[in-house]
Amino acid sequence: MKRAWPVFLVFLAMGFGDVVGPLVTLVKETFNVSNLTAQLVPLTGFLMFGLLSVPMGLVQDRKGKKFVLILGLTVALAGALLPIFAGMYGRQVEIAAGDLTKFYVILASILLLCAGATILQVCGNPVMRDVSPPGKFSSNLSLAQSVKAVGSSMGFLLLPLVAKPLGLSWSIQYPIFAATLVIALCACLPLRLTVERDEQRQPATLRSCFTLFGKNRFVLTMVLGIFFYVGAEVCFNSGVPLLLKERFGLVLENSLWVSWSLFFLPILVGRFAGAAILRVLQPALFLKLTAVLSLIGIAAVFSGVKSLTYVGIVVTALGFANIFPLIFSITVDALPERSNEISGLMISAIAGGAILPPVMGWVVDLANKNQIVGFIVPFAALLYILWVALTQTTRQKTA
């Protein structure tokens, strides 16, 4: 654990990329832009995951994990500093209607924060394997993902818990992000990572990545598992507030707080619990159980009963909590010599969060704006995860 604590700070910094969720509402209100313009915020973030992941996996294969780790922290720090240099550093700032200069600054900041988070995800997951004792990778990765959830929660909680009581704007998050990133950078600079290279194997290339993806069925199905999981999580998280308003007439006076308490808090708790459970339970079995739990939770949401819906949201979040680290660790443990390529492919699959939500919206429109019908999309995605858990995790994998 002594070697791992700087890497846990890296996972905390990864969570800052998830600020794109709450920023949609905050940016819309601050700059008085249209819904479509506000949606440029998450689009910008997910674009980085889709574009950078595989190339950074290749850079990591040549330059090493330490180089990519420092690069990711530096890029994210630049994103946190940009709004501060533009005068948005926590105090209440009056924005003239139609003045979009600072809006574009925020977009550039999100691009850099999410680019940094992408780079850190590519290197952070395999680095955690390097600093973990034998047999503890899955457990440590779940714990690290729970630390990442703390970073993600900061985007939701800094406004109601820090900014409003102190009379500050939501941009107080940028100095806090910057300070945390500086600490993480200082902690990782002395970190020594063992470079394990098979001299007989050629360095990874773009072709080798997509050859691995296209010809190795195990890798293909597991990468698609990440794609469908992230898409399902974004669908569920974005659809819940709309469902509660439509079905139960709930007025979300503080949508950030409600979203966090119903969904992100159980995910945080579930990841901490998962780290402990994985010390006694095999990852393949735990993936089966979490997939079933998620499906039960979404089924409860379909009931339309208020109490069951609330319980279903929490149960789904608990099920979602450990799916990403489980799929990732199972795949890398099966093919550790291809970890850089696998990491790049899996992080690029986070782009599922940009693709499945529009499908969910299309389904809702087809159902005459009936929000509950849209939850068919995350339910179907979780059925795929269950199929992966039942059929793929026990196979003998070969590169």
Backbone phi, then psi, for 250, in 5-degree steps? -75, 125
5-391 CATH, one of 1.20.1250.20, 3.60.10.10, 3.30.70.1140, 3.30.70.20: 1.20.1250.20
Q: What is the pLDDT of residue 299?
A: 96
How does pLDDT run along the chain (399 residues), one tens digit per residue? 567 889 999 999 998 887 776 676 677 677 777 655 766 777 777 778 888 888 888 888 888 889 999 999 999 999 999 999 988 776 655 554 456 788 888 889 989 999 999 999 889 878 888 888 777 787 888 888 888 888 887 877 787 777 778 878 788 889 999 999 999 999 999 888 765 555 555 666 767 777 787 888 898 999 999 999 998 998 888 788 778 877 877 654 455 566 678 888 898 899 889 888 988 899 999 999 999 999 999 999 999 898 899 899 999 999 999 999 899 889 988 888 887 788 888 888 888 887 888 888 888 888 887 889 999 999 999 999 999 999 987 654 444
Q: What is d(CA 263, CA 319) in angstroms, rounded to the nearest whole number?
A: 11
pLDDT tens string 182-217? 999 999 998 887 655 555 556 667 677 777 878 888
Q: What is the pLDDT of residue 329?
A: 87
Backbone phi, then psi, for 190, in 5-degree steps? -85, -5
Q: What is the pLDDT of residue 36?
A: 58
